[in-house]
Homo-oligomer: A and B are copies of this chain.
Amino acid sequence: MSQARTLNDVAKHANVSPSTVSRILNGTASVSPDKRKSVEEAISLLGYRPNLMAQALAKGRSMTIGVVTQAISSPFYGETFVGIEQGLASSGYHPMFISGHWRAEEEREAVDILTSRRADALIILGGNLEDDYLLKMAESLPIVTVGRTVQGLEHQSINISQEDGAMLGMRHLLDLGHRRIAHISGPPSHRDAIERFTGYKNALAEYGIAYDPELVLEGNYQERAGLLATEQLLSRRTDVTAIFAANDQTAMGARLAMFRRGIRVPDDMSLIGFDDLFASGYTTPPLTTVRQPGEDMGLAAANMVFALLEGHRPKPPRLSASLIVRESTSRLRFA
């Protein structure tokens, strides 16, 4: 293991003081052309790369943005990661992802790790961290939350209205003539899931349809739960003509349950999801869904972090859900 070269090595090689090398590296002050040249030569000769740890210590900035996520492999957050990555690109800052698995305790641990590593700012993706905790945290560190709005931190939160999104999807179904619409919810502990559920109920009310608790089944945002819930639903009710799934993954599970029973989509039953995962455009049939602009949200989060870092007050962009009509929904046919 060859030792990494240090700034001092470079200084010696170039016959200048360490300060000068540092100045050239950071452009902190002007330096005579000849010294600059010899320093640059020494740098490439030695293959010198500044030690970011040392820089972090000296400058008090680690150049890393901590990202508390829920699951590193989540298809939905994946898009947000891309946005964050892009937003941070060539800024010198780099993201560090730690997963919290939707457990407040693990998320707190993730925050601890990130603060130990002296992340310059935090981006919190969803999760179950208490508002108070985040609020306190925000006093000592720039924090941006994505997918949730923290009371008192509104201008550092980027979020879309899940309720509005759900209503968009429901109105689509309703306008298509569906009346017996089932809902497979997300985990009851997720505020998004609750909001989507609320949107479901609101839309029903808007169209003057009585809410029937038997039509809502609990899921957990995973495919398997969507499958199970749908099986249960189908064995209990035969009058349902459409399902509004809490997210695309749930919809995929529901789709499989229908496939198993020979129920055609959308001929026999309409299906709509939420999120618009990339894969949803390639299901059979392609899934109608409510799109959440995950990548844009990530990008916006990165930009807000920069604003915060520079002491500005960021202005969260107005992002919103949109309906993506594909082929899993169709007008109700009076059989």
Contacts and interface: CB of A to CB of B under 8 A. Distances in A.
A115 B57 contact: no
Given A79-B73, A282-B223, A284-B283, A53 B56 contact: yes
Interface string A106-118: 0000001101111
A227 B286 CA distance: 13
A49 interface: yes
A28 interface: no
A81 interface: yes
A79 B78 CA distance: 12
Nearest to A257: B282
How many copies are assembled? Answer: 2
Given A99-B85, A256-B282, A284-B256, A53 B118 contact: yes
A115 B4 CA distance: 10
A205 interface: no
A1 interface: yes
A252 B279 contact: yes
Interface string A84-99: 0100000000111111
A96 B96 contact: yes
A281 to B, nearest CB: 7
B117 A52 contact: yes
Interface residues of A, number: 52
Given A96-B96, A141-B1, A72 B85 contact: yes
B50 A116 contact: yes
Contacts of A117: 52-53, 94
Contacts of A2: 139-140
A94 B96 contact: yes
A138 to B, nearest CB: 10
Interface in A258-316: 259, 278-279, 281-286
Contacts of A54: 57
A68 to B, nearest CB: 13
A201 interface: no
A81 B255 CA distance: 28
A115 B53 CA distance: 11
A317 interface: no
A98 B94 CA distance: 8
A232 interface: no
B85 A81 contact: no
A81 B139 CA distance: 32
A177 interface: no
A253 interface: yes
A256 B73 CA distance: 24
Contacts of A286: 256
Contact of A255 (B99, B227, B278, B284): B284
**Which 10 A-B pairs have CB atoms at the shortest separation, nearest pair first?**
A73-B78, A53-B56, A284-B284, A252-B282, A72-B81, A52-B117, A223-B282, A52-B116, A259-B284, A2-B140
